[in-house]
Structure 1
């Protein structure tokens, strides 16, 4: 995958304390960009920033709080003068229950992070990018942005909606020099899978024709390409990185 351009830019990555978010921060930092690693888990984000050096700043951000999101973007503009790239990666899995049994509070909790949080981030990111006349956003969806999954009504609904929101916003802002795309990872080797049983892990592997799960760095490579000027004609798209899962 081609790298992002050499010229340093300012990037915000949410859900940056581990897994895919941390891998994206690492690649952007290695390419010389200024990275704001945001997460509700501030110690985790600080550990990522410390491991990557001076180009990365950790901030605490609860994406379900629109006022906090607005303040975060404002602080980035005040400190750096601009926001060139954003990756809306913060997300949670939620309970595994059939739709008729799904608790209302859990439904709202999952949508608050996985859908409303992305909307809040996009809203204020787009305002900042519109003022400067340029920018690129990647929203982290999932293979479940185009597939169903038993027991995950809230997560699947949020990720499908995220893909649609991405496409609508891309149409609205394309003429203003702003590109917005979505990435749909398959099952990736992250801390979220650390607690599953060996037979469950093997079953997940079996769903991927590649015969393995993905790596965070593979998702980061695609994400950074979409943020780069090398992807300047890619807009409003949903890109899978799933080892063939969705081709079945």
Structure 2
């Protein structure tokens, strides 16, 4: 795995969903490349271990669908770090696996609250800190499901499509202000989130990937680290893809 020593020297980051999967691996790389990180995650039990693995400076247990909790966490993170340069919004859940006419209403609502409202709340609270410093990099993690839609995953697909549209709007609002916002659309990759799905759904998603395999978390983390680096300086309101050839648009 390629590493860029010092790429994040002097930079600070908040990573949501930071106790596992893409969030954890991204946080680990940012720290390894010189950055300082605060992890946010719903699972208080997993945060201590994640902090040790990543070398994060601080960790906060919260539900990103709670707007007031997000506001408090943003203030606390800014106090700990001294500034906020980077936001990686990767917290998310899959919800139920069912056709639309049988989809549990409470599950649909919960998926949208975490996957879409949570991204909105995080950006709403953190963007002002970035604007005050005239610099910021935001990556909102979406999914190929937001581009194509997966059957029996309408809530997840709709929420991730919302993340893509939201990020395009945000990036255009911030263009020219030193703050860049993009979204990532991974295909299915090996991650604890797969434990929320039946094997049949995982097999379906694998079958749609031309490379014939699931992604690996470090592949998407590498892309995220480019997106939140100073090198990503002329692309905003856009969508980066790590889908093994499934989506090429």
Q: Work out whether the TM-score is over 0.5.
A: yes
For the structure 1 residues 232 and 242, does the alpha-carbon distance in structure 2 shift closer, same or farther, using more than 3 Å as the test? same
What is the rounded CA distance, in whole Å, between the counterparts of 2:205 and 2:170 in structure 1? Answer: 33
For the structure 1 residues 147 and 204, does the alpha-carbon distance in structure 2 shift closer, same or farther, using more than 3 Å as the test? closer
Backbone CA RMSD of aligned residues: 1.9
C-alpha contact (below 8 Å) 1:111/1:154 kept by paired residues: yes
C-alpha contact (below 8 Å) 1:2/1:225 kept by paired residues: no
Paired residue for 1:103?
104
1:126-184 residue CA offsets vs partner (Å, 9 max, x unmatched): 11111111101000000012111111111111111110110101111112110000000
Paired residue for 1:191?
192
What is the rounded CA distance, in whole Å, between the counterparts of 2:79 and 2:196 in structure 1? Answer: 41
Shift of the alpha carbon at 1:242? 0.7
For the structure 1 residues 223 and 213, does the alpha-carbon distance in structure 2 shift closer, same or farther, using more than 3 Å as the test? same
Structure 2 unpaired stretches of 5+: none
TM-score (norm 2): 0.93
What is the rounded CA distance, in whole Å, between the counterparts of 2:122 and 2:150 in structure 1? Answer: 26
Where in structure 2 are the equivalents of 1:85-234 lying within 5 Å?
85-194=86-195, 201-234=202-235
Paired residue for 2:48?
46
C-alpha contact (below 8 Å) 1:209/1:244 kept by paired residues: yes
Paired residue for 1:76?
77
C-alpha contact (below 8 Å) 1:187/1:204 kept by paired residues: yes
Shift of the alpha carbon at 1:192? 2.4
C-alpha contact (below 8 Å) 1:24/1:220 kept by paired residues: yes
Structure 1 unpaired stretches of 5+: none
What is the rounded CA distance, in whole Å, between the counterparts of 2:247 and 2:169 in structure 1? Answer: 23
C-alpha contact (below 8 Å) 1:174/1:235 kept by paired residues: yes
C-alpha contact (below 8 Å) 1:141/1:159 kept by paired residues: yes
For the structure 1 residues 181 and 206, does the alpha-carbon distance in structure 2 shift closer, same or farther, using more than 3 Å as the test? same
TM-score (norm 1): 0.93
What is the rounded CA distance, in whole Å, between the counterparts of 1:97 and 1:202 in structure 2? Answer: 16
For the structure 1 residues 74 and 233, does the alpha-carbon distance in structure 2 shift closer, same or farther, using more than 3 Å as the test? same
What is the rounded CA distance, in whole Å, between the counterparts of 1:29 and 1:98 in structure 2? Answer: 41
Alignment length (residue pairs): 247
For the structure 1 residues 107 and 230, does the alpha-carbon distance in structure 2 shift closer, same or farther, using more than 3 Å as the test? same
